Amino acid sequence: MHSIRWDDLQYVLTVANEGSVAAAARSLGVNHSTVLRRINTFEHRHKLQLFHKLPTGYKLTAEGQALLDSALSIETTVKALERKIFGQEMKLEGVIKLTTTDALLRLVLAKHLASFHRLHPKIQLELNVTSRLLNLSHLDADIAIRPANTLPESVKATKLCKIAFGIYGEPNYIESLQGKHPLRAAQWLGKTPNIIQKNQGRVIFEPISEEQIVLKADSYEPLMIAAEQGIGLTYMPCFIGDSSQKLQRVDMEVEHKGTDLWMMTHSDLEHSARVKAFFDFMEEEIQSDHNRLAGLNISKTNH
C-alpha cells in the first residue's frame, strides 16, 4: 500500500481542472513533460487509470473522479491551513501575491508599489495582472485591488475610493456626431464580459443595437487605444480616459456614475504582518489619487 503524496495530487487536480497537460503545465509553471511524468508515475504507483487520453483532452475515469472528489476535500483543508499559518506570520518579509487590473497598475498603483518596496525591501511583490477575480480562498492571490459591486464571502475588504465612469471619444470622431443623437449614430467599443450590463449605464446603452458595437476587448486599455484611433465611443473609468492625450470626455449625463474600488484579502490573512503593512500603506497613499479616480479632471470634457 503506497502512501499518497499531496504534491502528486496537485498535478492530478490541475490536469482535471484545466482539461489538458499543456494547460496544466502553464498553470503550474512547469514543463509539459514534467506533468506527464508525474501523472504517469502516480498511475503506475497506485495501479490506477486516472484519465482517458482523448484527442480533445484529458477526461477523468470513474476511478479518477472518485480520487478527485477526495482530493478536493483535502485541498480545501490544506489551503485553509496555509492561510491560517500565513495569517499568523509576524515578519515584514516574504512574498505578497497581489492581483489587480492593467490600467490600475499602470496609472495608479505602480508608483505606490515602488514606495512600498523602498519602505519594506524584504517584502517581495508578486503581481498577477488580470481582469479575472482570482480566488482568495485558494491563495491564488493574497491581496486584490479592483473595482467591485459585490464582495466574495470570507474576505476582509477596505473601500479605497469611488471610480467614476464617462463616455470618451477622439475629438474628430465626436465632432462628426454633431447634430446626431450619439447613442443611435455612434459606433461603440465594449468590454467583455459585456460592459453593456443592466447595472452599468442601462440608460446609456438601451438604444444601442448589437451592430453598433464594432469592437470588444477584455480590458479597458485596448478600448482606449481603439477609441484613440477614432473607431468609436467607449464607456470607461474616467481615470483611464482622462489619461489619454487623444481622447475627450463626451458631455452626456449617465445613470451609472461609478463603482467602488476595493482592497481585499482573505479574512484568515488580515493579521499577517506584511498584509497588514500593505493595507495600512495603500489606504493612506491612494488618498492622493481620489480626485483623479473620481473623474474630476473636467478640463478634458467636450461640451
Question: For residue 117, what is the domain's CATH number?
Answer: 3.40.190.10
Q: How far apart are CA 130 and CA 276, in angstroms?
A: 23
Residue 265 and residue 154 share a domain: yes
| Domain C-terminal end among 54, 72, 87 | 87
Distances (CA, A) of 191 to 11, 197, 213, 221, 230: 34, 10, 10, 10, 17
- Of 42, 69, 87, the one marking the end of a domain is 87
Q: Which three cell numbers stand for residue 53?
A: 487520453
Residues 240 and 180 grouped into a single domain: yes
DSSP code per residue over 165-220: EEEEE-HHHHHHTTTS-HHHHS-EEEETTTS-BTTB-HHHHTT--GGGEEEEESSH
Question: Which of residues 56, 87, 118 is at a domain's end?
Answer: 87
pLDDT at 197: 39
pTM: 0.66
Residue 253 domain-assigned? yes
Number of domains in the chain: 3
With respect to residue 99, please indicate whether it lies within any of the assigned structural domains.
yes
Query: Helix (H, G, I), strand (E, B), or coil: what is residue 145?
Result: strand
264: β partners: 144, 157
β-pair type (51-54, 57-60): antiparallel
Residue 109 lies inside a defined structural domain of this protein: yes
239 and 263 fall within a common domain? no
Are both 254 and 267 inside the same structural domain? Answer: no
Domain check: are 138 and 223 in the same one?
A: no
Q: What is the pLDDT of residue 195?
A: 45
Tens-of-pLDDT digits for all 303 residues of the chain?
455 666 777 788 888 888 888 888 888 888 888 888 888 888 888 787 878 877 777 887 887 777 777 666 766 666 666 666 555 566 788 899 999 999 999 999 999 999 999 999 999 999 988 876 656 555 578 899 998 877 877 788 999 999 999 999 999 999 998 877 777 789 999 887 544 433 444 445 556 778 889 999 988 999 999 999 999 999 999 999 999 999 999 987 766 668 899 999 988 888 888 888 999 999 999 999 999 999 886 555 554
- Residue 285 covered by a domain: yes
CB 263 within 8 A of CB 282: yes
Residue with cell 498577477: 128
275's CB contacts (< 8 A; 6+ apart) are: 87, 96, 142, 143, 265, 269
Same domain, 154 and 132: yes
Domain extent at residue 104: 94-162+259-291
